[in-house]
Chain A
């Protein structure tokens, strides 16, 4: 998996706030504008070639789910469910920055995604 900071190859009209995670982090302040997200597939969900992403804190779960759906080229009818801690599905309007603050570990937020409800 490449660790360079190039933007993803697929066209995204509004996603400069989601980029491949870079290896260096600018500055040591804990209020970095972006947080690292690690995406893990569950069940029959396709595995993303790039799993680690740098996401702006203010990005919502819903917009991240839409990004993943587009990236995986899912059908419009296919739903995507996102889970934190393999236990709860955050509200679609929840900010990833808040989830990172509360449930991040080792400097990243691990999110599991699947096409059907995995953990109720």
Chain B
């Protein structure tokens, strides 16, 4: 039986095989070969694609090299969402590798944030962690950490160092022994056809009567359409890190073990594939 700590490793080391192809709109001096790369689910596109940029800039004129951005089947990919979330949301039921189109021109200002350096990614990542801790512990744990501890969280992610990251992150996963879990669970629920980017609300892991609440309870409250009766065909898949956890899973456990390094539980709700 897998140890809970093994789950942390499996989550951290999850990878998505991707194939990057230069958009035909871009002008090249020679033909651009596609570039294959294994992407960490828990990282961010702009953090792990330096080699992709170098590869394509080799066949382009220097003056054409502006900010690189990515698109999948016409949808600009938000670099500030974790890679695994983008994949689960847009491409989980398609054949691998994930075919991503690379652009350098016509940056879609209304869809994407700019990412001019790694410090932008770091600032975004740390803000997410602080927001998550504000929900879990009123920010007390992250505020009690020193600046070098914060840096260790970022460096752990940037350099793919599981132990370095979790040496600090485990503090963010603790809660008072007399409580049943965190104050509120940091989560975001995404869907492709939603009117808003994601659902994020206050949700306690334990009911007022002291019951441990589950993924199913969370869905019942915020996305009841994802829960169907036994005899009904499933309309939606509820995906976290590319898997569909059982609805009976306690939400506290999911928060501790299946959160991203940003300390948020990112849940993708996608239409169930019709066979």
Contact = CB atoms under 8 A, between A and B. Distances in A.
Interface of A: 58, 84-85, 87-93, 95, 98, 101-103, 120
Given A102-B201, A102-B202, A87 B124 contact: no
A90 B127 contact: yes
Contacts of A89: 123, 127
B260 interface: no
Contact of A58 (B78, B147, B150, B196): B196
B130 interface: yes
Contacts of B135: 102
Task: Label chain B's interface by main secondary structure.
Answer: helix
A102 B200 contact: yes
Nearest to B112: A93
Chain B interface bracket (under 10, 10 to 19, 20 to 34, 35 or more): 20 to 34
B113 interface: yes
A92 B113 contact: yes
Contacts of A85: 134, 139
A54 to B, nearest CB: 19
B224 interface: no
B273 interface: no
Contacts, number: 45
B201 A101 contact: yes
Contacts of B124: 91
A77 to B, nearest CB: 15
Given A92-B113, A101-B202, A120-B126, A87 B134 contact: yes
A26 B123 CA distance: 39
Interface of B: 78, 80, 113, 123-124, 126-128, 130-131, 134-135, 139, 142-143, 147, 150, 184, 196-198, 200-202
Task: Label chain A's interface by main secondary structure.
Answer: loop
A92 B78 CA distance: 12
Given A92-B113, A93-B113, A103-B134, A87 B139 contact: yes
A84 B196 CA distance: 20
Contacts of A91: 80, 113, 124, 127
Contact of A95 (B80, B130, B142, B196): B196
B134 A88 contact: yes
Contacts of A58: 196
A80 to B, nearest CB: 15
Given A87-B143, A89-B123, A95 B197 contact: yes
6 contacts: A84-B131, A87-B130, A87-B142, A87-B143, A102-B135, A120-B150
A82 B8 CA distance: 33
